[in-house]
Amino acid sequence: MPTLDRIDRALLGLLQKDARISNKELAASVGLAPSSCLARVRRLEAEGVITGYRAELAPRSLGLDLQALIAVQLRLHVGEAFNSIGDHLRSLPETVAVYCLGGATDFLVHVACRDTEHLRVLTIRSFTSRPEVSRIETSLVFSFSRSSLAVE
């Protein structure tokens, strides 16, 4: 596990707030030369501390007005079933996030759909028809917000 110093943590906090900040602005904010700042950010990426940058899209702007969480229970708790269904769930275009859990629920899948008919077809086609799946439970999402990990 990489050791993070005060400057690394400051860089991470700033990048979480605005991943599009220029290297020049980022360097000035933490008191580094731009070349040193860029080297630190590249090191944090290479060490796997920074795992990526992405554009957050508003589901409604894409016609996806309904979000749901689908709890999945597997028939058998063997590695092959976990790997197979996990890969399948991550590959669905409706999937926002997939969590593999311990407890009564094996997977929790956040999906975004056009409407209830789209959700119904998705659950039948991609969940209940799978041989690994024993049971699903679907909950509608009324609101959703994402927060960042705290950099202390």
Residue intervals of the chain classified under CATH 1.10.10.10 are 6-46
Least confident range from 1-10, 41-50, 56-65, 140-149: namely 140-149
Burial 50-67, CB ≥16 within 10 A → b, else e: beeeeeeeebeeeebebb
In CATH, the architecture of 59-141 is 2-Layer Sandwich (3.30)
Question: pTM of the full predicted structure?
Answer: 0.82
d(CA 137, CA 123): 10
Under 8 Å CB-to-CB from 20, ≥6 apart: which residues? none
Least confident range from 73-77, 108-112, 131-135: namely 73-77
In CATH, the architecture of 6-46 is Orthogonal Bundle (1.10)
**pLDDT for the residue 76:** 87
**pLDDT for the residue 146:** 80
d(CA 130, CA 138): 16
Average pLDDT on 89-94 reads 97
Residue intervals of the chain classified under CATH 3.30.70.920 are 59-141
